[in-house]
Amino acid sequence: MSNEIVLDFHDSLLRQSDLDLLNGPHWLNDNHIAFYFEYLERVAYENSSKDVAFVSPSVAQLMKNSQPEEIVFFCEPLHLDTKQFVFFPVNDSESPDTPGGSHWSLLAYHRAKNVYLHFDSSEGNTNNKPATKLLRNVAPFIVKNESFPTLTEGECDKQQNGYDCGVYVLCNVERLCEMWIGKGKYGNSTSHTDAVKKRTDMIQLIRALRK
């Protein structure tokens, strides 16, 4: 069965199998999230690149599960201490270099408010532990000498199934960007209807970028 490349976008590569997953009901993988974060960075918010960092799933995973002496090599090139807004996709995999896992959530930092927010679409905020682990590792590189960061659970709607967590991450990061960077009027909540629409929007975006 052919699994051809359908989009080569800067550092992101999407194959036909990734496109098929967007039709649902399927869990989004790190390729989808890496692509969309890169799209936000290089297209949607290109003019704000000096103020915002969209950290890829693979790098966030390394930051979360690497040894303290290794994390500096992943954080320093991103210059997180100069960014006004930082976004990390979080998953519950304990592998040092493979996102995988079974649940996605979003960790976001707002410098002016000096707040770390965690948006988890699961009913029990099941990613609180991996999000806290990631935060403790990266906080000193976002705010110098930040040793005891506080993680606040952000308000967001909950997914209605077991596979839309990644879609909620995409919707939530987009809404936060619109509020924080675009100065829009979107709220923090993502409804089930938004999640269904986001899958269709993603497919259309991929097809548009192929042209």
Decide if 37 contacts 87 (C-beta within 8 A): yes
Q: 3-state DSSP call for residue 137? A: helix
Cis previous bond, 25, omega within 30: yes
Largest CA distance in the chain: 52
Whether the CB-CB separation of 63 and 133 falls below 8 Å is answered with no
Per DSSP, the three-state class of 144 is: coil
Measured distance CA(45)–CA(51) in Å, rounded: 10
Q: Is the distance from CB of 211 to CB of 11 less than 8 angstroms?
A: no
What is the set of active-site residues? 103, 120, 165
